[in-house]
A and B are shown apart, each in its own frame.
Chain A
Amino acid sequence: MARIIVVTSGKGGVGKTTTSAAIAMGLAKRGHKTAVIDFDVGLRNLDLIMGCERRVVYDFVNVINGEANLNQALIKDKNCNQLYILPASQTRDKDALSLEGVGRVLEELSKDFKYVVCDSPAGIEKGAYLAMYYADDAFVVTNPEVSSVRDSDRMLGILASKSRRAELNMDPIKEYLLLTRYDPDRVESGEMLGLADVQEILSLHLLGVVPESKSVLNASNSGIPVILDEKSDAGQAYADVVARYLGEKKPLRFIDSKKGFLRKLFGGK
């Protein structure tokens, strides 16, 4: 039985697709057969981030409508043979997805795959709802910024009440906080919400902090998930996130302000 992970946020542009690509690649690189699905029908990006946009023949909607089978639509990743991508349709819209269709596809994937990562679109409408409905785990991607925190909170409420697990009174979806685009210098100067502030407002288990990094844009330009850029801070942070998700203990990195560090080194505090 596969573990279904939804990467969601409510707010747009916080790093869901970047995270979905990185996490899926991280899990696959560790030997777990992983599928990553783009739920953003009509505004697909996962294929670009994964670098497979030129190999898309069939998509998620085709599979749901029976126009293609799953094997025809799944694209094997060039960098890791344990990773498969199911792209979204670009020509249709979210009404083309159905709850029961999504359920069938996930059930079929569950037979062979260990992890299925669902890249949710922004918002709380149908696309986001379908992406989270069947989830076992939720990575709630949040920027350290007031509107993102508010929207993540709203999404947490929806995860707790509208998911399949909630409706069937099963154990609830396991919620994890992923704080992205974190800039410790700005936190130090009081411009940005700090780690402790966000945790206090959301009261949620922190899975990791990913720093604001130029490497993210480079990664999406080259179509290689940032976790494969082992020298980059963001790449390493995502590697830590995957490790923690799988049960390893890793201290939080990239949360200390450089200015603060230098002050400690030279200021003798």
Chain B
Amino acid sequence: MDQSSILDFRSGTFFAPILVLYNDDLEKIEQRLQEKIASAPDFFSNSPVLFDLSELNENGKEIDVEALISLLRKLSLFPIGIRGGDPSQEKRALELSVPVDSSRSRNDAILPEIQKKDDTMPEIQPVIREAVRAPAMMITQPVRSGQRIYAASDLVILAQVSAGAEIMAEGNIHVYNTLRGRALAGVQGDTTARFFCLDLQAELVSIAGIYKTSEDLKGTPRKKPVQVYLRDQALIIEELS
């Protein structure tokens, strides 16, 4: 280890539920939040939360950001980001130590819709992001069922990815082994992202939100190197000769 190293920034993943507001009545919001928290106290107690004001702003509804943040904190939630706010709301939030999450764009990946298929799971998005495109994340140990990997640029995996594991990258994904889990490339909307694999047995493959499940991948040759890319909004799976 280099003796002069003091600190390092690494590509990381942080998951938090996103609170989307449709109504601007703080009393109603408080009541509904209390109900939600009571329904799953362990999940919500001291939970970090990102709040999304885009629906309110699109429908011309005003909300007092300061009151909202105090309300959240009163209910033992930790607001860690504001999304979809107008400049004055963002400014107010920053003054109250709540950063702005600008990762959501109009042409965003359909990633949230995949999550919608599972009603019980709250929507999750990475919150801490690299400012500069990082070098590829390299994984040499098997990725086991239930594990999740998120790479801010490319992802290279040299061991197997088990069924029930999820690997995600904003850039390309290379699996130089067998993939049995879910792989999502170009997760922030990069339609040029590609996926490379030595043995494709995936549960789901997605590029920029366009996906195929293992049912649709039945015809894929097994134990042969393949690449997957998008052409005209459709996933193409090709053997690498």
Contact = CB atoms under 8 A, between A and B. Distances in A.
Interface in B146-190: 146-147, 159-160, 162-165, 180
Interface residues of A, number: 12
B19 to A, nearest CB: 27
B141 interface: yes
Interface string A179-210: 00000000000000000000001110000000
Task: Identify which of B142, B146, B147 gathers the most chain A CB atoms within 10 Å of its CB.
Answer: B146
Contacts of A150: 145, 163-164
B144 interface: yes
Interface string B25-50: 00000000000000000000000000
Task: Identify which of B141, B144, B164 gathers the most chain A CB atoms within 10 Å of its CB.
Answer: B144
Contacts of B159: 203
A156 B164 CA distance: 12
A156 to B, nearest CB: 5
A173 to B, nearest CB: 13
A154 B145 CA distance: 5
A216 to B, nearest CB: 27
A147 to B, nearest CB: 11
Interface in A121-173: 150-151, 153-154, 156-158, 160-161
B140 to A, nearest CB: 12
A161 B147 contact: yes
Interface string B127-150: 000000000000001111111000
Nearest to B165: A157
B141 A160 contact: yes
Contacts of B180: 201
Contacts of A160: 141, 144
Contacts of B160: 203
Contacts of A201: 162, 180
Interface size class of chain B, counting residues whose CB lies under 8 Å from the partner chain? 10 to 19
A203 B215 CA distance: 25
Contacts, number: 33
A18 B162 CA distance: 28
B161 to A, nearest CB: 11
Contacts of A161: 147
Task: Identify which of B142, B145, B164 gathers the most chain A CB atoms within 10 Å of its CB.
Answer: B145
Nearest to A204: B142
Contacts of A153: 144-145, 162-164
B146 A154 contact: yes
B204 to A, nearest CB: 16
Contacts of A156: 142, 144
A154 B143 CA distance: 10
A150 B145 CA distance: 7
Interface in B60-96: none
Contact of B147 (A157, A202, A203): A157
A153 B180 CA distance: 12
Nearest to A157: B144
A166 B162 CA distance: 20
A150 B144 CA distance: 9
A150 B142 CA distance: 14
A203 B163 CA distance: 13
A153 B162 CA distance: 7
Contacts of A151: 145
B166 to A, nearest CB: 11
A156 B180 CA distance: 16
A150 B162 CA distance: 8
A203 B178 CA distance: 11
A158 B164 CA distance: 13
B164 A154 contact: yes
Contacts of A158: 144, 146
Nearest to B162: A153
A154 B160 CA distance: 14
Contacts of B162: 153, 157, 201-202
Nearest to B181: A153
Given A157-B165, A158-B144, A203-B160, 11 more contacts: A150-B164, A153-B144, A153-B145, A153-B162, A153-B164, A154-B144, A154-B146, A156-B142, A157-B144, A160-B141, A201-B180
The 7 A-B residue pairs whose C-beta atoms are closest, nearest first, are A157-B144, A153-B145, A154-B145, A154-B146, A157-B147, A153-B162, A156-B144
5 contacts: A150-B164, A157-B144, A157-B165, A160-B144, A203-B160
